[in-house]
Structure 1
Protein backbone atom coordinates (compact mmCIF):
# COMPACT_ATOMS: atom_id res chain seq x y z
CA UNK A 1 0.00 0.00 0.00
CA UNK A 2 1.40 3.40 -1.00
CA UNK A 3 1.87 6.25 1.43
CA UNK A 4 -0.95 8.14 -0.27
CA UNK A 5 -3.31 5.17 0.00
CA UNK A 6 -2.41 4.77 3.64
CA UNK A 7 -3.16 8.43 4.31
CA UNK A 8 -6.52 8.20 2.52
CA UNK A 9 -7.52 5.13 4.49
CA UNK A 10 -6.78 6.97 7.73
CA UNK A 11 -9.28 9.74 6.97
CA UNK A 12 -12.42 9.27 9.03
CA UNK A 13 -14.88 11.26 11.09
CA UNK A 14 -17.31 10.13 13.72
CA UNK A 15 -20.88 11.47 13.68
CA UNK A 16 -22.50 12.44 16.97
CA UNK A 17 -24.72 15.48 16.38
CA UNK A 18 -28.19 13.92 16.25
CA UNK A 19 -30.26 10.78 15.95
CA UNK A 20 -33.16 10.09 13.58
CA UNK A 21 -36.02 7.94 14.80
CA UNK A 22 -39.28 6.88 13.20
CA UNK A 23 -41.19 9.18 15.53
CA UNK A 24 -39.29 12.15 14.08
CA UNK A 25 -40.63 11.62 10.57
CA UNK A 26 -43.50 13.61 9.13
CA UNK A 27 -46.23 11.78 7.21
CA UNK A 28 -45.21 13.28 3.88
CA UNK A 29 -41.58 13.12 2.72
CA UNK A 30 -41.83 16.49 0.98
CA UNK A 31 -42.65 18.07 4.35
CA UNK A 32 -39.76 16.18 5.96
CA UNK A 33 -37.39 17.31 3.24
CA UNK A 34 -38.60 20.90 3.54
CA UNK A 35 -37.81 20.85 7.26
CA UNK A 36 -34.27 19.58 6.69
CA UNK A 37 -33.71 21.99 3.79
CA UNK A 38 -34.92 24.95 5.87
CA UNK A 39 -32.42 24.06 8.59
CA UNK A 40 -29.61 23.76 6.04
CA UNK A 41 -30.45 27.22 4.67
CA UNK A 42 -30.75 28.79 8.14
CA UNK A 43 -27.42 27.22 9.13
CA UNK A 44 -25.71 29.31 6.42
CA UNK A 45 -24.18 26.28 4.77
CA UNK A 46 -22.32 26.86 1.52
CA UNK A 47 -24.72 26.09 -1.35
CA UNK A 48 -27.38 24.29 0.73
CA UNK A 49 -29.52 23.82 -2.39
CA UNK A 50 -26.75 22.05 -4.33
CA UNK A 51 -27.70 18.51 -5.31
CA UNK A 52 -25.89 15.78 -7.16
CA UNK A 53 -28.12 14.86 -10.08
CA UNK A 54 -27.56 11.42 -11.61
CA UNK A 55 -29.07 10.37 -14.93
CA UNK A 56 -28.67 7.39 -17.26
CA UNK A 57 -28.86 7.35 -21.03
CA UNK A 58 -30.61 4.71 -23.13
CA UNK A 59 -27.61 2.41 -22.71
CA UNK A 60 -27.81 2.70 -18.90
CA UNK A 61 -24.54 4.63 -18.66
CA UNK A 62 -24.73 6.84 -15.55
CA UNK A 63 -23.60 10.44 -15.34
CA UNK A 64 -23.61 12.79 -12.34
CA UNK A 65 -23.18 16.51 -11.82
CA UNK A 66 -24.10 19.25 -9.35
CA UNK A 67 -27.19 21.36 -10.06
CA UNK A 68 -29.06 23.81 -7.86
CA UNK A 69 -32.56 23.21 -6.53
CA UNK A 70 -34.74 26.13 -7.61
CA UNK A 71 -38.19 25.03 -6.52
CA UNK A 72 -39.93 22.58 -4.19
CA UNK A 73 -43.60 21.70 -4.49
CA UNK A 74 -44.84 18.22 -5.42
CA UNK A 75 -41.40 17.73 -6.89
CA UNK A 76 -37.89 19.19 -7.08
CA UNK A 77 -37.25 21.77 -9.79
CA UNK A 78 -33.97 22.59 -11.52
CA UNK A 79 -33.10 24.42 -14.74
CA UNK A 80 -30.66 23.65 -17.52
CA UNK A 81 -30.02 23.47 -21.26
CA UNK A 82 -32.25 20.77 -22.78
CA UNK A 83 -29.46 19.90 -25.21
CA UNK A 84 -26.91 19.32 -22.43
CA UNK A 85 -25.76 15.82 -21.54
CA UNK A 86 -28.27 15.59 -18.71
CA UNK A 87 -31.05 16.91 -20.94
CA UNK A 88 -30.32 14.35 -23.63
CA UNK A 89 -30.13 11.58 -21.03
CA UNK A 90 -33.49 12.57 -19.58
CA UNK A 91 -35.00 12.54 -23.08
CA UNK A 92 -33.81 8.94 -23.48
CA UNK A 93 -34.48 7.75 -19.93
CA UNK A 94 -36.82 10.03 -17.93
CA UNK A 95 -35.74 8.93 -14.46
CA UNK A 96 -33.12 10.43 -12.16
CA UNK A 97 -31.65 10.33 -8.68
CA UNK A 98 -30.71 13.36 -6.59
CA UNK A 99 -28.46 13.55 -3.55
CA UNK A 100 -28.17 16.35 -1.01
CA UNK A 101 -25.19 16.17 1.36
CA UNK A 102 -24.92 18.57 4.29
CA UNK A 103 -21.75 17.44 6.12
CA UNK A 104 -21.96 20.19 8.73
CA UNK A 105 -25.31 18.71 9.82
CA UNK A 106 -24.11 15.13 9.28
CA UNK A 107 -27.07 14.56 6.99
CA UNK A 108 -27.85 13.47 3.47
CA UNK A 109 -31.05 12.92 1.51
CA UNK A 110 -31.45 10.59 -1.46
CA UNK A 111 -34.35 11.06 -3.88
CA UNK A 112 -35.38 9.00 -6.91
CA UNK A 113 -38.16 9.69 -9.36
CA UNK A 114 -39.47 10.50 -12.81
CA UNK A 115 -38.34 13.68 -14.57
CA UNK A 116 -40.75 15.91 -16.51
CA UNK A 117 -40.35 19.34 -18.06
CA UNK A 118 -41.93 22.26 -16.23
CA UNK A 119 -44.36 24.52 -18.07
CA UNK A 120 -43.22 27.24 -20.46
CA UNK A 121 -44.59 29.81 -18.05
CA UNK A 122 -42.54 28.41 -15.17
CA UNK A 123 -39.37 28.38 -17.27
CA UNK A 124 -40.02 31.96 -18.39
CA UNK A 125 -40.65 33.16 -14.84
CA UNK A 126 -37.36 31.79 -13.58
CA UNK A 127 -35.31 32.79 -16.64
CA UNK A 128 -36.41 36.43 -16.46
CA UNK A 129 -35.68 36.54 -12.72
CA UNK A 130 -32.00 35.73 -13.37
CA UNK A 131 -29.27 38.37 -13.63
CA UNK A 132 -28.71 39.51 -17.21
CA UNK A 133 -25.23 37.96 -17.30
CA UNK A 134 -26.75 34.57 -16.44
CA UNK A 135 -29.36 35.00 -19.16
CA UNK A 136 -26.60 35.81 -21.66
CA UNK A 137 -24.69 32.74 -20.54
CA UNK A 138 -27.71 30.58 -21.26
CA UNK A 139 -28.13 31.84 -24.82
CA UNK A 140 -24.48 31.67 -25.89
CA UNK A 141 -23.27 28.45 -24.24
CA UNK A 142 -23.65 25.21 -26.23
CA UNK A 143 -23.66 23.34 -22.92
CA UNK A 144 -21.79 20.02 -22.83
CA UNK A 145 -20.50 20.49 -26.39
CA UNK A 146 -16.80 20.74 -27.29
CA UNK A 147 -15.67 24.34 -27.83
CA UNK A 148 -12.47 25.64 -29.39
CA UNK A 149 -11.27 27.79 -26.49
CA UNK A 150 -12.22 29.84 -23.46
CA UNK A 151 -11.32 32.97 -25.42
CA UNK A 152 -13.97 32.21 -28.04
CA UNK A 153 -16.56 31.67 -25.32
CA UNK A 154 -15.63 35.00 -23.70
CA UNK A 155 -15.84 36.78 -27.06
CA UNK A 156 -19.33 35.37 -27.68
CA UNK A 157 -20.37 36.50 -24.22
CA UNK A 158 -19.02 40.03 -24.64
CA UNK A 159 -20.65 40.37 -28.06
CA UNK A 160 -24.00 39.19 -26.71
CA UNK A 161 -23.74 41.67 -23.84
CA UNK A 162 -23.28 44.51 -26.33
CA UNK A 163 -26.08 43.24 -28.58
CA UNK A 164 -28.49 43.11 -25.62
CA UNK A 165 -27.36 46.30 -23.91
CA UNK A 166 -30.71 48.01 -24.46
CA UNK A 167 -33.01 45.08 -25.03
CA UNK A 168 -34.40 42.09 -23.21
CA UNK A 169 -32.77 38.69 -23.51
CA UNK A 170 -35.21 36.12 -24.86
CA UNK A 171 -35.24 32.71 -23.22
CA UNK A 172 -34.01 30.18 -25.78
CA UNK A 173 -36.33 27.28 -26.61
CA UNK A 174 -33.66 24.78 -25.54
CA UNK A 175 -33.36 26.15 -22.00
CA UNK A 176 -35.83 25.55 -19.20
CA UNK A 177 -36.83 23.58 -16.16
CA UNK A 178 -37.34 20.00 -15.10
CA UNK A 179 -39.28 18.64 -12.15
CA UNK A 180 -38.29 15.40 -10.43
CA UNK A 181 -41.51 13.73 -9.26
CA UNK A 182 -40.29 11.70 -6.26
CA UNK A 183 -41.03 8.02 -5.88
CA UNK A 184 -38.47 7.38 -3.15
CA UNK A 185 -36.83 9.38 -0.34
CA UNK A 186 -34.11 8.29 2.04
CA UNK A 187 -33.11 10.43 5.02
CA UNK A 188 -29.66 9.68 6.43
CA UNK A 189 -28.39 10.91 9.78
CA UNK A 190 -24.79 10.13 10.66
CA UNK A 191 -24.30 8.15 13.86
CA UNK A 192 -21.31 6.99 15.87
CA UNK A 193 -19.50 3.81 14.85
CA UNK A 194 -20.93 4.01 11.32
CA UNK A 195 -24.30 2.77 12.65
CA UNK A 196 -26.09 5.54 10.77
CA UNK A 197 -29.85 6.11 10.81
CA UNK A 198 -31.44 5.50 7.39
CA UNK A 199 -35.19 6.03 7.14
CA UNK A 200 -37.01 5.83 3.82
CA UNK A 201 -40.33 6.63 2.16
CA UNK A 202 -41.53 4.58 -0.83
CA UNK A 203 -44.46 5.77 -2.93
CA UNK A 204 -47.26 3.19 -2.97
CA UNK A 205 -50.36 3.97 -5.02
CA UNK A 206 -51.45 7.39 -3.74
CA UNK A 207 -49.55 7.31 -0.45
CA UNK A 208 -46.20 6.54 1.13
CA UNK A 209 -44.84 3.63 3.11
CA UNK A 210 -41.98 4.18 5.57
CA UNK A 211 -39.23 1.98 6.94
CA UNK A 212 -35.69 1.71 8.21
CA UNK A 213 -32.61 0.43 6.36
CA UNK A 214 -29.53 -1.14 7.86
CA UNK A 215 -26.56 1.26 7.81
Structure 2
Protein backbone atom coordinates (compact mmCIF):
# COMPACT_ATOMS: atom_id res chain seq x y z
CA UNK A 1 0.00 0.00 0.00
CA UNK A 2 1.60 3.31 -1.06
CA UNK A 3 2.00 6.09 1.47
CA UNK A 4 -0.81 8.55 0.66
CA UNK A 5 0.15 11.14 3.26
CA UNK A 6 0.79 14.64 1.96
CA UNK A 7 1.71 18.05 3.25
CA UNK A 8 0.78 21.43 1.76
CA UNK A 9 2.85 24.57 1.32
CA UNK A 10 1.15 27.72 0.07
CA UNK A 11 3.27 29.78 -2.30
CA UNK A 12 0.63 32.38 -3.09
CA UNK A 13 -2.99 32.57 -4.22
CA UNK A 14 -4.18 29.17 -5.42
CA UNK A 15 -6.53 28.85 -8.37
CA UNK A 16 -7.07 25.16 -7.68
CA UNK A 17 -7.86 25.54 -3.98
CA UNK A 18 -8.94 29.14 -3.37
CA UNK A 19 -10.71 28.40 -0.09
CA UNK A 20 -11.47 25.73 2.47
CA UNK A 21 -11.53 22.17 1.16
CA UNK A 22 -11.41 18.65 2.57
CA UNK A 23 -8.19 18.03 0.64
CA UNK A 24 -6.48 20.85 2.54
CA UNK A 25 -7.85 19.55 5.85
CA UNK A 26 -6.38 16.12 5.13
CA UNK A 27 -2.78 17.36 4.94
CA UNK A 28 -0.18 16.37 7.52
CA UNK A 29 2.93 18.16 8.74
CA UNK A 30 5.43 15.89 6.95
CA UNK A 31 3.71 13.84 4.25
CA UNK A 32 5.37 11.62 1.69
CA UNK A 33 4.07 13.99 -1.01
CA UNK A 34 4.51 17.76 -0.97
CA UNK A 35 1.77 19.85 -2.62
CA UNK A 36 2.65 23.42 -3.59
CA UNK A 37 -0.43 25.63 -3.88
CA UNK A 38 -0.10 28.88 -5.77
CA UNK A 39 2.64 30.22 -8.06
CA UNK A 40 5.82 28.27 -7.37
CA UNK A 41 9.51 28.92 -7.80
CA UNK A 42 12.18 26.46 -8.85
CA UNK A 43 13.74 26.68 -5.38
CA UNK A 44 10.51 25.68 -3.63
CA UNK A 45 10.21 22.65 -5.92
CA UNK A 46 13.40 21.10 -4.61
CA UNK A 47 12.52 18.44 -2.04
CA UNK A 48 14.34 15.24 -3.07
CA UNK A 49 13.37 13.46 0.14
CA UNK A 50 9.69 13.43 -0.88
CA UNK A 51 8.08 10.76 -3.03
CA UNK A 52 6.62 13.51 -5.20
CA UNK A 53 6.45 17.29 -5.31
CA UNK A 54 3.21 18.52 -6.88
CA UNK A 55 3.43 21.93 -8.54
CA UNK A 56 0.23 23.85 -9.26
CA UNK A 57 0.27 25.08 -12.85
CA UNK A 58 -1.60 27.85 -14.62
CA UNK A 59 -1.17 27.74 -18.37
CA UNK A 60 2.61 27.32 -18.17
CA UNK A 61 4.59 24.13 -18.73
CA UNK A 62 6.12 22.06 -15.94
CA UNK A 63 9.42 22.39 -17.82
CA UNK A 64 9.70 25.91 -16.41
CA UNK A 65 10.49 24.31 -13.04
CA UNK A 66 12.67 21.44 -14.20
CA UNK A 67 16.44 21.61 -14.00
CA UNK A 68 18.07 21.31 -17.39
CA UNK A 69 20.90 19.21 -16.00
CA UNK A 70 18.58 16.49 -14.69
CA UNK A 71 18.38 13.39 -16.91
CA UNK A 72 15.00 12.02 -18.04
CA UNK A 73 12.86 10.18 -15.48
CA UNK A 74 15.06 11.29 -12.58
CA UNK A 75 12.99 13.78 -10.57
CA UNK A 76 9.96 13.70 -8.28
CA UNK A 77 8.39 16.76 -9.89
CA UNK A 78 4.76 16.48 -11.06
CA UNK A 79 2.55 19.29 -12.32
CA UNK A 80 -1.17 19.54 -11.65
CA UNK A 81 -4.05 21.79 -12.60
CA UNK A 82 -7.59 21.64 -11.24
CA UNK A 83 -9.79 22.82 -14.08
CA UNK A 84 -11.81 25.93 -13.37
CA UNK A 85 -13.91 28.26 -15.49
CA UNK A 86 -13.41 31.87 -14.45
CA UNK A 87 -14.81 32.73 -11.06
CA UNK A 88 -16.76 29.48 -10.82
CA UNK A 89 -15.75 26.93 -8.18
CA UNK A 90 -13.01 24.58 -9.39
CA UNK A 91 -14.14 21.27 -10.84
CA UNK A 92 -13.22 17.86 -9.45
CA UNK A 93 -10.98 17.16 -12.44
CA UNK A 94 -7.24 17.13 -11.83
CA UNK A 95 -4.95 17.19 -14.86
CA UNK A 96 -1.58 15.66 -13.95
CA UNK A 97 1.46 16.71 -15.95
CA UNK A 98 4.46 14.47 -16.44
CA UNK A 99 7.58 16.38 -17.42
CA UNK A 100 10.75 15.27 -19.10
CA UNK A 101 12.36 14.39 -15.79
CA UNK A 102 9.32 13.02 -13.91
CA UNK A 103 9.79 9.53 -12.49
CA UNK A 104 6.89 7.09 -13.05
CA UNK A 105 6.65 6.36 -9.32
CA UNK A 106 6.22 10.08 -8.56
CA UNK A 107 3.42 10.34 -11.12
CA UNK A 108 1.73 7.25 -9.68
CA UNK A 109 1.97 8.68 -6.15
CA UNK A 110 0.46 11.99 -7.26
CA UNK A 111 -2.46 10.24 -8.92
CA UNK A 112 -3.06 8.03 -5.89
CA UNK A 113 -3.13 11.02 -3.52
CA UNK A 114 -5.69 12.93 -5.58
CA UNK A 115 -7.88 9.89 -6.28
CA UNK A 116 -7.90 9.00 -2.58
CA UNK A 117 -9.27 12.52 -1.98
CA UNK A 118 -12.13 11.91 -4.42
CA UNK A 119 -10.83 13.69 -7.51
CA UNK A 120 -10.97 12.39 -11.06
CA UNK A 121 -7.46 12.36 -12.51
CA UNK A 122 -6.34 12.62 -16.12
CA UNK A 123 -2.70 12.39 -17.17
CA UNK A 124 -1.33 14.60 -19.91
CA UNK A 125 1.93 15.58 -21.55
CA UNK A 126 3.72 18.78 -20.65
CA UNK A 127 2.02 21.18 -23.04
CA UNK A 128 0.83 24.69 -22.26
CA UNK A 129 -2.89 24.72 -21.49
CA UNK A 130 -3.15 20.95 -21.11
CA UNK A 131 -6.26 19.05 -22.23
CA UNK A 132 -9.45 20.88 -21.29
CA UNK A 133 -8.41 24.43 -22.11
CA UNK A 134 -6.85 23.47 -25.44
CA UNK A 135 -10.03 21.66 -26.48
CA UNK A 136 -12.67 23.91 -24.96
CA UNK A 137 -11.35 27.46 -25.31
CA UNK A 138 -11.55 27.44 -29.15
CA UNK A 139 -15.20 26.41 -28.86
CA UNK A 140 -15.85 29.31 -26.49
CA UNK A 141 -14.13 31.63 -28.95
CA UNK A 142 -16.30 30.46 -31.83
CA UNK A 143 -19.45 31.00 -29.78
CA UNK A 144 -18.35 34.46 -28.63
CA UNK A 145 -17.47 35.49 -32.19
CA UNK A 146 -20.86 34.27 -33.46
CA UNK A 147 -22.54 36.25 -30.70
CA UNK A 148 -20.50 39.35 -31.56
CA UNK A 149 -21.41 38.92 -35.25
CA UNK A 150 -25.11 38.86 -34.40
CA UNK A 151 -25.70 35.30 -35.57
CA UNK A 152 -28.20 34.72 -32.76
CA UNK A 153 -28.79 35.55 -29.13
CA UNK A 154 -26.78 33.74 -26.48
CA UNK A 155 -29.94 31.94 -25.38
CA UNK A 156 -30.75 30.70 -28.90
CA UNK A 157 -27.22 29.49 -29.52
CA UNK A 158 -27.14 27.61 -26.24
CA UNK A 159 -30.54 26.10 -27.05
CA UNK A 160 -29.14 24.75 -30.32
CA UNK A 161 -26.11 23.33 -28.56
CA UNK A 162 -28.26 21.68 -25.91
CA UNK A 163 -30.76 20.12 -28.29
CA UNK A 164 -28.48 19.54 -31.26
CA UNK A 165 -25.20 18.50 -29.62
CA UNK A 166 -26.26 17.46 -26.13
CA UNK A 167 -24.41 20.21 -24.26
CA UNK A 168 -26.24 20.22 -20.94
CA UNK A 169 -25.60 23.91 -20.19
CA UNK A 170 -24.69 25.16 -23.63
CA UNK A 171 -21.46 27.13 -24.01
CA UNK A 172 -22.27 30.77 -23.52
CA UNK A 173 -24.29 30.63 -20.31
CA UNK A 174 -21.51 29.13 -18.16
CA UNK A 175 -18.84 31.24 -19.85
CA UNK A 176 -20.66 34.57 -19.57
CA UNK A 177 -21.58 33.78 -15.99
CA UNK A 178 -17.99 33.03 -14.99
CA UNK A 179 -16.30 36.21 -16.15
CA UNK A 180 -14.95 36.87 -19.63
CA UNK A 181 -11.83 38.64 -18.38
CA UNK A 182 -10.47 35.33 -17.12
CA UNK A 183 -11.23 33.75 -20.49
CA UNK A 184 -9.20 36.51 -22.11
CA UNK A 185 -6.24 35.75 -19.84
CA UNK A 186 -6.28 32.04 -20.64
CA UNK A 187 -6.78 32.39 -24.38
CA UNK A 188 -4.17 35.12 -24.69
CA UNK A 189 -1.61 32.88 -22.94
CA UNK A 190 -2.42 30.00 -25.29
CA UNK A 191 -2.29 32.26 -28.35
CA UNK A 192 1.13 33.56 -27.34
CA UNK A 193 2.44 30.00 -27.07
CA UNK A 194 0.83 28.40 -30.12
CA UNK A 195 0.13 31.37 -32.39
CA UNK A 196 -3.03 29.74 -33.72
CA UNK A 197 -6.08 31.83 -34.59
CA UNK A 198 -8.40 29.51 -32.67
CA UNK A 199 -6.83 30.75 -29.42
CA UNK A 200 -6.90 34.48 -30.23
CA UNK A 201 -9.10 36.29 -27.66
CA UNK A 202 -12.35 37.45 -29.30
CA UNK A 203 -13.50 41.05 -29.06
CA UNK A 204 -15.99 40.45 -26.25
CA UNK A 205 -13.27 38.91 -24.07
CA UNK A 206 -10.85 41.75 -24.89
CA UNK A 207 -13.44 44.33 -23.86
CA UNK A 208 -14.20 42.43 -20.66
CA UNK A 209 -10.52 42.45 -19.70
CA UNK A 210 -10.22 46.18 -20.50
CA UNK A 211 -13.25 46.95 -18.33
CA UNK A 212 -11.95 44.80 -15.49
CA UNK A 213 -8.57 46.54 -15.59
CA UNK A 214 -10.16 49.99 -15.54
CA UNK A 215 -12.51 49.08 -12.70
CA UNK A 216 -9.87 47.61 -10.41
CA UNK A 217 -6.30 47.48 -11.73
CA UNK A 218 -4.61 44.24 -10.75
CA UNK A 219 -0.91 43.61 -10.36
CA UNK A 220 -0.97 41.59 -13.58
CA UNK A 221 -2.71 44.37 -15.52
CA UNK A 222 -0.25 46.96 -14.23
CA UNK A 223 2.62 44.81 -15.48
CA UNK A 224 0.93 44.48 -18.86
CA UNK A 225 0.50 48.25 -19.12
CA UNK A 226 4.13 48.77 -18.15
CA UNK A 227 5.21 46.30 -20.80
CA UNK A 228 7.10 44.12 -18.32
Question: Fold-level match, TM-score > 0.5?
Answer: no
TM-score, normalising length: structure 2: 0.23
Higher strand content, 1 or 2: 1
TM-score, normalising length: structure 1: 0.24
| Rg larger in structure | 1
Higher helix content, 1 or 2: 2
Higher RCO (C-alpha 8 Å, min separation 6): 1
